[in-house]
Amino acid sequence: LPLQFDDKIHAINAFPLDMCKFDIILDVFPDELPGIPPVHEVEFNIELIPGAKPISKAPYRMAPIELKELKDQLQELLERGFIRPSVSPWGAPVLFVKKKDGSMRLCIDYRELNKITIRNRYPLPRIDDLFDQLQ
C-alpha cells in the first residue's frame, strides 16, 4: 500500500475494510517517545578496517537560526535521555535538512566513518528464489 510520509501519515490507499486495521495499529504508537527504552544486554560493534584511527571532523558552519535550533534540539534529546555528554575521540558533524512543513531535521554526517567501516555481507535473497520456496 503506498503511504505518504512526513512526520505523520497523510494518506493511506486501502480498501475501506482495511482502514479499521490501520486505526487500531496507529493507536498503539505514541505521537512522541518519552525516552529511550531500558538498556538490554545486546552488544553492537562497528568493525573498522585494520589500522583505522578515530575520526573527528570539524563542525559545519551554521546560520544563527540553525545554531539556536541545534541548541534546542540537543537540549530536548539530552532531557529525554536519547543522548548524553561524551568525551569520545570520534566525532561527526551535524547539519539540518528542511522538512516539508518548514521545520528542521537534525542529521549526522557519518560519511567519513562509513569510509573506514567493514561492510556486513548479508545479501538480500533473490525474489524469484523466494517465490520458488512458496510453491
Tens digits of per-residue pLDDT, 58-116? 999 999 999 999 999 999 999 988 888 999 999 999 999 999 999 999 999 999 999 99
How confident is the model at residue 21, as a pLDDT?
64
Decide if 7 is inside a domain. no
How confident is the model at residue 1, as a pLDDT?
44
CA dihedral over 83, 87, 93, 96, signed as positive or negative:
positive
Decide if 65 is inside a domain. yes
| Helical segments of the chain, H only | 16-28, 64-80, 111-115, 127-134
**Is a pLDDT exceeding 50 seen at residue 135?**
yes
How confident is the model at residue 14, as a pLDDT?
56
Decide if 83 is inside a domain. yes
Decide if 124 is inside a domain. yes
Owning domain of residue 56: 49-135
CATH number of the domain to which 126 belongs: 3.10.10.10
Decide if 26 is inside a domain. no
Decide if 25 is inside a domain. no
User: Is-contact 117 52, C-beta < 8 A?
Assistant: no
Decide if 123 is inside a domain. yes
Rounded-to-integer distance, Cα 102 and Cα 96, Å: 11
Q: Residue written as cell 568493525?
A: 47
| H or E stretch at 11 | strand 9-12
Domains identified in the chain, total number: 1
Tens digits of per-residue pLDDT, 17-67? 565 666 667 777 777 777 776 677 777 788 999 999 999 999 999 999 999
How confident is the model at residue 16, as a pLDDT?
58
| pTM for the structure as a whole | 0.62
Portion of the chain with pLDDT greater than 90, in percent: 48
User: Is-contact 110 92, C-beta < 8 A?
Assistant: yes
Rounded-to-integer distance, Cα 97 and Cα 112, Å: 19
Decide if 21 is inside a domain. no
